[in-house]
Chains A and B, each alone.
Chain A
């Protein structure tokens, strides 16, 4: 049907139009960064930063107004009411980073206009530690995860699952790694809990749990400072800590009789944004990767797969849809249009 003598075929990346990006409070600039690819793809952009970062929001809005015409790129500040108003408008793509309940509202609003959505959510990211794990490496990973913004990051380690024989060793290794850091409340740069509501949410988990706190890092829980030291809590599967994404410095540890049982448990729950495995058994790690699903996986590390060039960043199932990171973001915000030209014509860009 097509012949190279007279026909030509192209894929032309085309901008979509007006892109809305709604970013969360935990890493406001990084999570807003896809606006760069939105503009690079030839769209205009509206950014709605989180109202839980009022200082960032105000400063960023002012700077954007100074460097951009609002017809190209504008910042809209505000909370739920402003976002609701914004969602009544029609966009050509909406990128939302946040939590599943709000994501459902956004997708439902987008459905009214058939606006494609990209949802970067989170999940209960498991850390499976098996008999052959390098515990020093694990402890290093946990320290990194729970100090990074006090665990308030979508790809954080949410809970540890291991075997009964490994559990005390895991607790010991993680405890001594945090002990070496001392009282983190004395370190001003160490992250605090973002606001009163999340602080209450986390401290009430400590009250509601039927589990046992087996380790508490240095420093005291402080309502005024919203500081919560890292806690390790030994729990059962039906505990409060195993219900929702924790998003904080509290780490439950669960023991299940076997690797099989752990894989089953992970499969029975919502697909997380990330899953982690510490092992030196290749068959075990391959099986874990094959049989459990997550946005992305790191074996013998935490978050190493995130934002690596060439790796799409995104969730699956309840942890999200669509992918960002570099070229993937560009593709998100463009339509790759097939163009066929016949009768000797070709397309000159």
Chain B
């Protein structure tokens, strides 16, 4: 498959911009024309229904539209100003030519299927071919992509490979021109190690233990409502979801009351289609045992865990620092809440962990905000809200340290899958491509 794609790539078939736009349009149609079947697959795999699929569809399509509308501008060569020894008098000119790489491997997770399908848009827009490996943890979705892709893309342009670890290991033995992986830190190390064998560049979108710092000046009801809303989306199984809370004493007391108030009025989230299931038994058991082995106290919970329906309730736990819930990324609907005496203490705790994908703070003091921005290191930051720094294609999305390498969204995504080739032309030669 890889060889066939590389041969197809070398014919130059992916170069014309109009063809790339057509393929992006086809990606949109693949989503639009099959939305009902996609929603059914969402329900089967994730316990989330049509509304969630529609929401992801809207966001994904708008991102694809953004790319299509800017593609001409991004793909065209840029002429650069000259410095000695180059000069216009000598007939010199200097350009940056945007070049595609070749065959791109895109390995995606299960938690946002349409977003993940959409993530192919960057490599497609640049004129690369795609080998797409959806997650085996959402098998109905994977099968659907496998069935639909040949109807919307040329042969040898977009291949869907289904399967799990063995199939991925086989894939990684092949040589790609770029590997894009979204998932966990552990697997990312294996992928980067495999990529090293052929000097393949990688883009890794990982996660982390995304902290939320709340000080006494925060708007508590706004803050808790955002946190509850954020954790409900996909039952906290989203890379930029807030993971744990550090609150100063007055804020903590107020937060506890507010959580109790809001969560008791939520009703049983088992029925909520935005909430969905925990992805599988293994993940459920992991969350359950983390809570059971916690040395903290459960402040409030939206219901009871039910393994048969893979439902885990939204749970707030007041914890000490060395708690089981304060260790790894939770990726679930649990908020450990830890009281800190000051911002210094909060920063110390945040620094003791790996750089997360996102960091959040709620405060009305601009000095606190400034300090949080400068003294924490993360993929991105939102102050007084959550996830908003990832909300448009004008903002780069990516991690740092263990939360990832490289970035996507909008032009940043386009640039990731492009090789910007410097071209100096002398003696009157001019670029005409």
Q: How far is the CA of A304 from the CA of B87 in the complex (A)?
A: 11
B421 contacts A342, C-beta separation under 8 Å: no
B431 contacts A286, C-beta separation under 8 Å: yes
**Assuming A107-B199, A323-B420, is B429 touching A338 (CB within 8 A)?**
no
> Among the listed stretches A47-55, A187-195, A311-319, which one makes contact with chain B, having 4 or more residues with CB under 8 Å of it?
A311-319
> Which of B201, B401, B421 is within 8 Å of A296, CB to CB?
B421
A278: nearest chain-B partner, CB-CB: B427
A340 contacts B405, C-beta separation under 8 Å: no
Tell me which residues across on chain B come within 8 A of A297, comparing CB atoms.
97, 421-424
How many chain A residues have a CB neighbour from B under 8 Å?
A: 73
The answer to whether the Cβ of A104 comes within 8 Å of any Cβ in the partner chain is yes
CB distance from B414 to the nearest CB of A (A): 15
> Among the listed stretches A65-73, A108-116, A176-184, A251-259, which one makes contact with chain B, having 4 or more residues with CB under 8 Å of it?
A108-116
> Which of A100, A112, A291, A340 is within 8 Å of B381, CB to CB?
A340
**Assuming A112-B189, A295-B421, is B396 touching A336 (CB within 8 A)?**
yes
What does the 1/0 interface line of B195-218 toward A look like (CB < 8 Å)? 111010100101000000000000
CB distance from B374 to the nearest CB of A (A): 8
Tell me which residues across on chain B come within 8 A of A343, comparing CB atoms.
219, 222, 364, 383-385
CB distance from B192 to the nearest CB of A (A): 4
Tell me which residues across on chain A come within 8 A of B422, comparing CB atoms.
295-297, 305-306, 308, 311-313
How many chain B residues have a CB neighbour from A under 8 Å?
A: 75
What does the 1/0 interface line of B398-433 toward A look like (CB < 8 Å)? 001110111000000000000111111111111111
> Among the listed stretches A6-14, A218-226, A230-238, A239-247, which one makes contact with chain B, having 4 or more residues with CB under 8 Å of it?
A6-14
The answer to whether the Cβ of B273 comes within 8 Å of any Cβ in the partner chain is no
Q: How far is the CA of A82 from the CA of B222 in the complex (A)?
A: 54
B81 contacts A310, C-beta separation under 8 Å: yes
A300 contacts B12, C-beta separation under 8 Å: no
Q: How far is the CA of A286 from the CA of B15 in the complex (A)?
A: 14
The answer to whether the Cβ of B323 comes within 8 Å of any Cβ in the partner chain is no
CB distance from A138 to the nearest CB of B (A): 11
> Which of A104, A305, A349 is within 8 Å of B94, CB to CB?
A305
CB distance from B351 to the nearest CB of A (A): 11
B195 contacts A299, C-beta separation under 8 Å: no
A342 contacts B383, C-beta separation under 8 Å: yes
The answer to whether the Cβ of B395 comes within 8 Å of any Cβ in the partner chain is yes
The answer to whether the Cβ of A30 comes within 8 Å of any Cβ in the partner chain is no
Tell me which residues across on chain A come within 8 A of B80, comparing CB atoms.
308, 310-311
**Assuming A2-B388, A116-B405, is B199 touching A103 (CB within 8 A)?**
yes
B369: nearest chain-A partner, CB-CB: A345
A316 contacts B196, C-beta separation under 8 Å: no
**Assuming A16-B400, A112-B189, A134-B427, is B101 touching A289 (CB within 8 A)?**
no
The answer to whether the Cβ of A341 comes within 8 Å of any Cβ in the partner chain is yes
Q: How far is the CA of A180 from the CA of B204 in the complex (A)?
A: 54
What does the 1/0 interface line of A269-305 toward B look like (CB < 8 Å)? 0000000000110110110011101111111110011
B430: nearest chain-A partner, CB-CB: A282
> Which of B378, B423, B427 is within 8 Å of A289, CB to CB?
B423
The answer to whether the Cβ of A309 comes within 8 Å of any Cβ in the partner chain is yes
**Assuming A290-B433, A348-B370, is B96 touching A311 (CB within 8 A)?**
yes
B395 contacts A9, C-beta separation under 8 Å: yes
CB distance from A333 to the nearest CB of B (A): 12
B405: nearest chain-A partner, CB-CB: A116
**Assuming A286-B432, A289-B433, is B86 touching A321 (CB within 8 A)?**
no
- Which of A111, A119, A310, A335 counts the most chain B CB atoms within 10 A? A335
> Which of A17, A134, A304, A347 is within 8 Å of B85, CB to CB?
A304
> Which of A104, A114, A267, A341 is within 8 Å of B10, CB to CB?
A267
B370 contacts A304, C-beta separation under 8 Å: no
Tell me which residues across on chain A come within 8 A of B86, comparing CB atoms.
304, 308
Q: How far is the CA of A97 from the CA of B362 in the complex (A)?
A: 44
Q: How far is the CA of A115 from the CA of B192 in the complex (A)?
A: 10
Tell me which residues across on chain B come within 8 A of A318, comparing CB atoms.
199
A108 contacts B196, C-beta separation under 8 Å: yes
B380 contacts A337, C-beta separation under 8 Å: yes
CB distance from B111 to the nearest CB of A (A): 20
Within 8 A of B (CB), among A92-126: 92, 100, 103-104, 107-108, 110-112, 114, 116, 119, 121
- Which of B92, B366, B401 counts the most chain A CB atoms within 10 A? B401
A104 contacts B197, C-beta separation under 8 Å: yes
CB distance from B52 to the nearest CB of A (A): 18
Tell me which residues across on chain A come within 8 A of B374, comparing CB atoms.
12
> Which of B189, B364, B406, B427 is within 8 Å of A300, CB to CB?
B427
**Assuming A114-B192, A343-B219, is B391 touching A299 (CB within 8 A)?**
no
B366 contacts A114, C-beta separation under 8 Å: no
The answer to whether the Cβ of B193 comes within 8 Å of any Cβ in the partner chain is yes
The answer to whether the Cβ of B177 comes within 8 Å of any Cβ in the partner chain is yes
CB distance from A9 to the nearest CB of B (A): 7
Q: How far is the CA of A322 from the CA of B425 in the complex (A)?
A: 23
A321 contacts B94, C-beta separation under 8 Å: no
> Which of B15, B206, B383, B427 is within 8 Å of A341, CB to CB?
B383
Tell me which residues across on chain A come within 8 A of B405, comparing CB atoms.
114, 116
The answer to whether the Cβ of A261 comes within 8 Å of any Cβ in the partner chain is no
Tell me which residues across on chain B come within 8 A of A304, comparing CB atoms.
85-86, 92, 424, 426
Tell me which residues across on chain A come within 8 A of B421, comparing CB atoms.
289, 293-297, 316
Q: How far is the CA of A300 from the CA of B429 in the complex (A)?
A: 8
Q: How far is the CA of A280 from the CA of B188 in the complex (A)?
A: 48
Q: How far is the CA of A100 from the CA of B200 in the complex (A)?
A: 11
Tell me which residues across on chain B come within 8 A of A110, comparing CB atoms.
192, 196
B83: nearest chain-A partner, CB-CB: A309
B196 contacts A337, C-beta separation under 8 Å: no
Q: How far is the CA of A121 from the CA of B432 in the complex (A)?
A: 29
> Which of B81, B380, B406, B429 is within 8 Å of A339, CB to CB?
B380
* 7 further contact pairs, Cβ within 8 A, besides A291-B12, A304-B85, A348-B370: A1-B392, A286-B431, A297-B424, A306-B422, A312-B420, A340-B391, A340-B395
Residues of A within 8 A of B (CB): 1-2, 7, 9, 11-12, 14, 16-17, 92, 100, 103-104, 107-108, 110-112, 114, 116, 119, 121, 134, 137, 267, 279-280, 282-283, 285-286, 289-291, 293-301, 304-306, 308-313, 316-318, 320-323, 335-343, 345-349
Nearest first, the 9 closest Cβ-Cβ pairs linking A and B are A107-B196, A111-B192, A311-B422, A305-B424, A304-B424, A340-B389, A296-B422, A108-B196, A111-B193
